[in-house]
Structure 1
Amino acid sequence: MANPNSPVSTYINADGKLSSSISSFPLANALPNVMSNWERRTTPTRNHKHVANCETTFDLWKTLEMHFLIDSKARILHLRNLLQTTRKEKLSINDYARKIKEVAGSLTASGVVVNDEELLMYILDGLGTEYDAVVANLTSRSGDVSLQEAQFLLHKHEMR
């Protein structure tokens, strides 16, 4: 038997297929269940600041989605900035490449794909002047250079 207080309703759509939707029912019915986990992880002022005016679950979800979307965009900007500004400095080539790959992995987890060619450009851009000859060699090639091949050549140069 269906729960009359449930926000999910199931129906048969125009194509004759079973569908479901979330209705906008009064927030008072759902707030304790919806907010319990979120409240445990955030401060009360942060919670109420964003959801105080929500009257339905639909309003609540839209508000939370917008809040986290803004946080997500800020994170993406921060990670892109890290890719552009991270320098090798005193790190080994392997540690430096790992650090750049970790940032790229975080970007991918945030929904932004960084392909190998772009990743290689970020790695090459953060090297010091002592790698100028290798960078010139890698960037002047007519064919594509794999990330693994570039890392091998950079490591070989580092060992000299």
Structure 2
Amino acid sequence: MIVPYLKGTHLFGYVDRTLPAPPTHISSTENNQTHSLPNPAFHSWHLQDQLILSALISSLTENFLSHVVKCTTSRDVWLALERMFSSTFHARITHIHFQLATLKTANLSIADYFQQFTNLTDTLAAVDQPLNNYELVYFLLAGLGLDYDSFVTSVTTKGEPLSLEDLYGHLLAHEKRLEQHQAAVDLTVANANFTSRNTTNCGGRGNRRSSPSHDGRGHYQNSPSRNY
């Protein structure tokens, strides 16, 4: 959040030292005598630097204020924060790469899978560790399931690489075709099961037929005949 603000206002040079402090004094010669005078350029630079210093300190929580309390310039605060977060920064970058390498579609929809993927890649870009387009496409394809093997093959054999946005659009279309195919298969199975049940019901149980039997009182009753 701080970096875009400073770059947008052309003030980032104060913390990355591309706009160093000018000399505090300048020489002035008068009547063959040299005098040392306060440098107006340093005064302007110092005022601006103190405003940046104040903005940086106000953005910190109390836990970190003790680490920058002795800093007198914005550059000093910036370096102190870099030293504090350098070890956790590299560990975080490594963990994000691991998450990208192990991210799988599994039961996720393509939209949810792509959202998780972009959250990780955007985090890398935000800390100045962006992936190039080839790496983005590679990680995205690597996490797709077996249903997307034909899609992965078609993408990797293309002469021209796809952008991440175009690839996402093709993935959504492929997912839709898979859903339609699965719906057709389910309908076929349901029809087959329905036909099988009807055939069984019409045949009866063992194709038994009823035959009349004498009840001993001059009447006949229908009773199932035995099949031997």
Q: For the superposition of Structure 1 and Structure 2, which TM-score range results when normalised by the shorter chain?
A: 0.5 to 0.7
Q: Cα deviations across residues 22-53 of structure 1 (Å, max 9, x unaligned)?
A: xxxxxxxxxxxx9887562x3xxx887xx5xx
**d(CA) in 1 for partners of 2:59 and 2:112?**
37
Contact kept? 1:89, 1:128, Cα under 8 Å: yes
Superposed CA RMSD: 3.4
Give the match for residue 92 of structure 1: 109
The Cα shift of 1:113 comes to 1.3
- Consecutive unaligned residues in structure 1, runs of 5 or more: 1-8, 22-33
* Closer, same or farther: CA 38–154 of 1 in aligned 2, 3 Å: closer
Give the match for residue 171 of structure 2: 154
The Cα shift of 1:13 comes to 8.6
**d(CA) in 2 for partners of 1:13 and 1:143?**
59
User: Moved runs in structure 1, 4+ residues, more than 3 A?
Assistant: 16-21, 34-39, 60-64
Equivalent of 2:23 in 11, 18, 22? 11
Q: Cα deviations across residues 89-128 of structure 1 (Å, max 9, x unaligned)?
A: 1111121112101110011111111233321211100011
Structure with more relative contact order (C-alpha pairs < 8 Å, separation 6 or more)? 1
Three-state SS of the structure 2 residue aligned to 1:11 is coil
The TM-score, its normalising length taken from structure 2, stands at 0.47
Give the match for residue 156 of structure 2: 139
Equivalent of 1:57 in 59, 71, 74? 71
**d(CA) in 2 for partners of 1:116 and 1:107?**
13
The Cα shift of 1:146 comes to 2.1
* Closer, same or farther: CA 36–85 of 1 in aligned 2, 3 Å: same
Give the match for residue 131 of structure 2: 114
Give the number of equivalent residue pairs.
Answer: 130
Three-state SS of the structure 1 residue aligned to 2:23 is strand
* Closer, same or farther: CA 69–135 of 1 in aligned 2, 3 Å: same
**Larger-Rg structure:** 2
The TM-score, its normalising length taken from structure 1, stands at 0.64
Give the match for residue 96 of structure 2: 79
Identity of aligned residues (%): 26
Q: Cα deviations across residues 53-95 of structure 1 (Å, max 9, x unaligned)?
A: x9x638x855543121222212211111111111111111121
- Consecutive unaligned residues in structure 2, runs of 5 or more: 1-20, 27-38, 47-55, 179-228
**d(CA) in 2 for partners of 1:149 and 1:37?**
39
The Cα shift of 1:157 comes to 1.8
